[in-house]
């Protein structure tokens, strides 16, 4: 085996070992942020947040439905509804704690954009949005608090980032080994990079549809069934 092939194999093994460690950390964190028994405070805040999110959606929807045909503000409200809840309100309220936090933060950023100001004022949404901002701050604080064993979300993010760095290093090594447009090099790149590119495409589809990206077993390439 050539030296560069040996280095690539060793690097791939290091990537798999790191990803296995990342899966363990993710599982520990997800168990913490999806098990209500272990998160009574977070559960209590979630009980407050879910109705707020639903109220925001229902208020906009009822205003749009109850307006006269051709009402310009109602048409703008309909556009806002799609921007805030492209997959419906249940996609937000039924998500894991971490995913719901990210979605609510996105909703707040979106609704505060200047182009929606008339709808916020005309539909009387300011009070709901203000309360959502207060609640999501507490929600995020509880979500990212260290676990009993000392695990912090920052540790999980750092481990994920390191995995991405290792992935980029892998791609660089493959390109260095098969750099040209010759058929042999193209075949070599496809054999080694094809699975990575297909996985990234799948991730892109999940993100586009605003669904949670599932973990993948680094040994088998199969999706890991985690808690909902």
The angle at the Cα of 192, spanning 187 to 196, to the nearest 5 degrees, equals 125
Tell me the domain boundaries of the chain.
Answer: 3-34+153-208, 40-143
**Are 153 and 143 contacting, i.e. CB atoms less than 8 angstroms apart?**
yes
Question: Where is average pLDDT lowest: 42-56, 100-114, 174-188, 208-222?
Answer: 208-222
Angle between helices 153-177 and 3-34 (to 10 degrees): 160
- The count of other CB atoms within 10 Å of the CB of residue 180 is 10
Query: Do residues 8 and 134 touch, judged by C-beta distance below 8 A?
Result: no
Is the pTM value of this prediction over 0.85?
no
Share of the chain above pLDDT 70, in %: 79
Contact 159, 21 (CB under 8 A): yes
What pLDDT, on the 0 to 100 scale, is given for residue 50? 96
The string of pLDDT tens digits covering residues 132-156 is 999 999 999 888 876 656 677 788 8
Query: What percent of the chain clears pLDDT 90, i.e. is strictly above it?
Result: 42
Q: What is the pLDDT of residue 34?
A: 53
Q: Which residue has the higher pLDDT, 3 or 188?
A: 188
Of 12, 17, 22, 7, give the one whose Cα is nearest residue 195: 12
The candidate with the shortest Cα–Cα distance to 148, out of 67, 28, 24, is 28
- Rounded average pLDDT over 114-119: 97
In the block, residue with structure tokens 């208020």:
59
Categorize the per-residue pLDDT at 113 as very low, low, confident or very high, splitting at 50, 70 and 90. very high
pLDDT tens per residue across span 51-103:
999 999 999 999 999 999 999 999 999 999 999 999 999 999 998 888 899 99
DSSP 65-134: HHSPTT-HHHHHHHHHHHHH-TT-THHHHTS-HHHHHHHHHHHHHHHTSGGGHHHHHHTT-HHHHHHHHH
Inter-residue contact 214 to 197 (CB < 8 Å): no
pLDDT of residue 227: 46
pLDDT digits (tens, 9 = 90+) for 12-36: 888 888 888 887 777 777 666 555 4
190, 31 in Cβ contact below 8 A?
no
pLDDT at 4: 61
Least confident of 86-95, 118-127, 184-193: 184-193
User: In this structure, what DSSP letter does residue 36 have?
Assistant: G
* Mean pLDDT to the nearest integer, 189-203: 81
The predicted pLDDT at position 60 comes to 97
């Amino acid at each position: 085996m050539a030296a560069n092939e040996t280095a690539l194999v060793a690097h791939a093994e290091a990537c798999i070992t790191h990803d296995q460690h990342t899966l363990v950390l993710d599982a520990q964190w997800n168990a913490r942020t999806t098990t209500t028994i272990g998160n009574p405070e977070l559960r209590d805040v979630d009980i407050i947040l879910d109705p707020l999110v639903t109220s925001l959606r229902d208020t906009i929807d009822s205003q749009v439905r109850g307006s006269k045909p051709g009402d310009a503000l109602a048409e703008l409200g309909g556009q806002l509804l799609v921007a805030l809840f492209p997959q419906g309100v249940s996609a937000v309220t039924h998500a894991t704690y971490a995913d719901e936090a990210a979605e609510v933060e996105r909703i707040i950023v979106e609704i505060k954009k200047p182009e929606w100001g008339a709808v916020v004022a005309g539909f009387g949404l300011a009070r709901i949005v203000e309360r959502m901002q207060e609640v999501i701050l507490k929600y995020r604080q509880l979500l990212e608090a260290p676990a009993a064993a000392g695990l912090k979300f920052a540790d999980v993010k750092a481990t994920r980032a390191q995995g991405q760095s290792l992935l980029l290093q892998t791609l660089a090594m493959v390109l260095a080994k098969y750099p040209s447009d010759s058929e042999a090099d193209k075949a070599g790149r496809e054999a080694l990079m094809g699975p990575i590119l297909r996985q990234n495409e799948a991730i892109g589809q999940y993100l586009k549809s605003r669904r949670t990206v599932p973990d993948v077993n680094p040994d088998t390439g199969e999706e890991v069934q985690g808690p909902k």
